[in-house]
């Protein structure tokens, strides 16, 4: 949420001409599926094993307790301390669970290093029950699944929803949410936040300068020249930990140039997928932006450093998802109004319209199969997925959830209104999943993107580097493969 000029600590209320129903209706019409918008880290070292002897066996099932949770068993929750913070958990979601089960103690903590903090606990057989497995340093989903560490969420999805017993939890979710958390036919991940990706800017600055949001690459570069002449760095991202923000944009351009099947082929490790002319053309276009219109010093900066520069109008364009506005709410001045534009068309013959966007259900939550209370972990998610839990999240973070229609009637902040409007106008929406499937491919793409954008890399080398890594993963029989 952006800050109000009258009260810098409160959310500015917008008056959007659309609501959650409009956005979701559009997303459904597009046949939208989504993907966790995160990369991967090292795999857990454990393998399959027996159920811990101290694991809760549950309690009696009832209409209020359809999963059969032990009402006195505690639940431990660990939240990624990123753009959404963890106030939504401490202020809203933990109390929701404790209201339903007053005898249960819910322990919540947060960290920016999920993998470093929790991998030893998963390896040691003492994981927390619920984990927001997000951020730059988070655990490898494929490895967790391969090691039988994740709870199958089928019982959760088939359980009656908190708000309407005639509907299952699955029935209440945005189309594609379940599918994108499904691996080898089983749902292991609940992606809670509905995110639209694009390029962000200060709408007030653009209005003052008389700058028009571009839809073509020629207009984009012309505007970047004007911005540079005004003494502002035209475009940038943080290379130290947010290079995936930029490679999402690069993949978006590739999909627009050559069609969404480009991304599907990459996900499926198809031979030569990274060598597709559309990928190479996108890489070349963005390499030029990095060489001419950015600051190579950003290579060593963290995301909040570059985002603060944008808040201070030192950087005009910044690639991100719509968590950005909330993440920066404490440093956004009254002179700054977040707005998002779709990535401009690279060519005049792009297969997808300039309005097309990448839109995803992200912020992946998991339940530990070997935790002390996996049934309680699933029930915690069921409470989060209630309309009250979803609205509370939107209130706390200024972001939409994957619960359909949960924010109908709510006023949205300027940035969220802008990104939601972009989705509602999009003629197509798309996604990719390789970043959530193959840790090494995600890691390689981050490094290759930094090289391309900030270190003088070429499009040919980018494509060759990525193809080599994809080929190595495809040949490695120890890595579980996924397809779509």
Strand-pair category, 315-321 with 233-235: parallel
Count Cβ atoms within 10 A of the Cβ of residue 330 and give its class: 0-12 exposed, 13-18 middle, 19 or more buried. exposed
Spatial CB neighbours of 382, under 8 Å, sequence gap ≥ 6? 67, 156, 159, 161, 162, 169
Residue 42 pLDDT:
32
Tens of pLDDT, residue by residue over 334-356, are 999 999 999 999 999 999 999 99
Cβ atoms < 10 Å from Cβ of 47: 9
Tens place of pLDDT per residue across the chain (484 aa): 222 222 222 222 233 333 433 443 444 433 443 333 333 333 333 344 556 768 998 999 999 999 999 999 999 999 999 889 999 999 999 999 999 999 999 999 999 999 999 999 999 999 999 999 998 888 999 899 999 999 999 999 999 999 999 999 999 998 889 988 998 899 999 999 988 999 999 999 999 999 999 999 999 999 999 999 999 999 999 999 999 999 999 999 999 999 999 999 999 999 999 999 999 999 999 999 999 999 999 999 999 999 999 999 999 999 999 889 989 999 999 999 999 999 999 999 999 999 999 998 889 999 999 999 999 999 999 999 999 999 999 999 988 899 998 988 888 899 999 998 998 899 999 999 999 889 899 999 999 999 999 999 999 999 999 999 999 999 999 998 988 8
Cβ atoms < 10 Å from Cβ of 282: 28
Spatial separation of the C-alpha atoms in residues 20 and 70, rounded to whole Å: 35
Residue with the two structure tokens 């966007």: 357
Spatial CB neighbours of 126, under 8 Å, sequence gap ≥ 6? 52
- Phi and psi angles of residue 307, each rounded to the nearest 5 degrees, phi first: -65, -35
Half-sphere exposure of 134 (CA within 13 A, CB side): 26
Angle made by CA atoms 462, 466, 471, in degrees to the nearest 5: 150
For the chain, the first-to-last Cα distance in angstroms comes to 35
Spatial separation of the C-alpha atoms in residues 27 and 33, rounded to whole Å: 9
Spatial separation of the C-alpha atoms in residues 357 and 37, rounded to whole Å: 14
| Domains of the chain by start residue, with CATH | 20-195+359-430 (3.40.190.10), 198-356+435-475 (3.40.190.10)
Spatial CB neighbours of 12, under 8 Å, sequence gap ≥ 6? 1, 2, 3, 4, 5, 413, 414
Q: What is the SS3 assignment for 131?
A: strand
Spatial CB neighbours of 364, under 8 Å, sequence gap ≥ 6? 36, 38, 132, 133, 134, 141, 181, 189, 190, 191, 192, 436
Q: Where are the alpha helices (DSSP H) in 30-140?
A: 87, 94-100, 114-123
With contact defined as beta carbons under 8 Å apart, do 106 and 71 qualify?
Answer: no
Residue 17 pLDDT:
35
């Amino acid at each position: 949420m952006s800050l109000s000029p009258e009260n810098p600590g409160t959310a500015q209320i917008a008056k959007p001409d659309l609501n959650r129903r409009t956005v979701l209706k559009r997303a459904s019409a597009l046949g939208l599926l989504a993907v966790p918008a995160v990369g991967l880290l090292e795999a857990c070292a454990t393998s399959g094993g027996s159920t811990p002897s101290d694991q809760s066996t549950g309690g009696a099932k009832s209409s209020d307790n359809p999963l059969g949770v032990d009402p006195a068993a505690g639940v431990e929750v660990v939240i990624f301390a990123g753009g959404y913070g963890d106030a939504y958990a401490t202020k809203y979601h933990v109390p929701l669970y404790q209201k339903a089960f007053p005898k249960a103690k819910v322990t919540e903590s947060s960290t920016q290093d999920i993998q470093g903090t929790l991998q030893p606990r998963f390896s040691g057989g003492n994981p927390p029950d619920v984990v927001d497995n997000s951020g730059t340093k988070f655990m490898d989903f494929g490895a967790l699944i391969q090691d039988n560490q994740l709870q199958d969420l089928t019982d959760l999805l088939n359980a009656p929803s908190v708000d309407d017993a005639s509907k299952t939890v699955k029935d209440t979710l945005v189309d594609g949410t379940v599918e994108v958390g499904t691996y080898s036919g089983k749902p292991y991940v609940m992606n809670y936040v509905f995110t639209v990706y694009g390029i962000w800017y200060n709408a007030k600055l653009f209005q003052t300068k008389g700058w028009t949001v571009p839809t073509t690459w020629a207009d984009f570069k012309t505007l970047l020249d004007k911005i540079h002449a005004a003494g502002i760095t035209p475009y940038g991202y943080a290379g130290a930990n947010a290079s995936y923000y930029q490679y999402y944009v690069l993949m978006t351009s590739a999909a627009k140039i050559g069609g969404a099947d480009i991304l599907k082929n990459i996900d499926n490790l198809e031979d030569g997928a990274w060598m597709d002319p559309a990928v190479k053309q996108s890489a070349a276009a963005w390499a030029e932006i990095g060489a001419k219109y950015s600051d190579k010093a950003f290579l060593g900066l963290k995301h909040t450093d570059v985002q603060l520069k944008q808040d201070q109008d030192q950087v005009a364009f910044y690639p991100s998802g719509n968590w950005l506005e909330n993440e920066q709410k404490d440093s956004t001045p009254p002179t700054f109004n977040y707005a998002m534009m779709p990535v401009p068309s690279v060519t005049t013959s792009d297969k997808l319209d300039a309005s097309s966007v990448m839109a995803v259900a992200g912020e992946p939550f998991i339940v530990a199969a070997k935790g002390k209370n996996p049934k309680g972990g699933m029930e915690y998610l069921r409470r989060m997925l209630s309309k009250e839990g979803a609205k509370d999240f939107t209130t706390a973070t200024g972001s939409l959830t994957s619960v359909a229609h949960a924010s109908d009637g709510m006023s949205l902040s300027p940035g969220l209104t802008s990104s939601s409007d972009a989705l509602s106008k999009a003629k197509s929406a798309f996604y990719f999943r390789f970043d959530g499937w193959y840790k090494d491919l995600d890691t390689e793409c981050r490094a290759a993107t930094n090289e391309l954008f900030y270190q003088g890399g070429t499009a040919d080398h980018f494509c060759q580097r990525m193809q080599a890594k994809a080929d190595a993963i495809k040949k490695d029989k120890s890595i579980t493969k996924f397809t779509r």
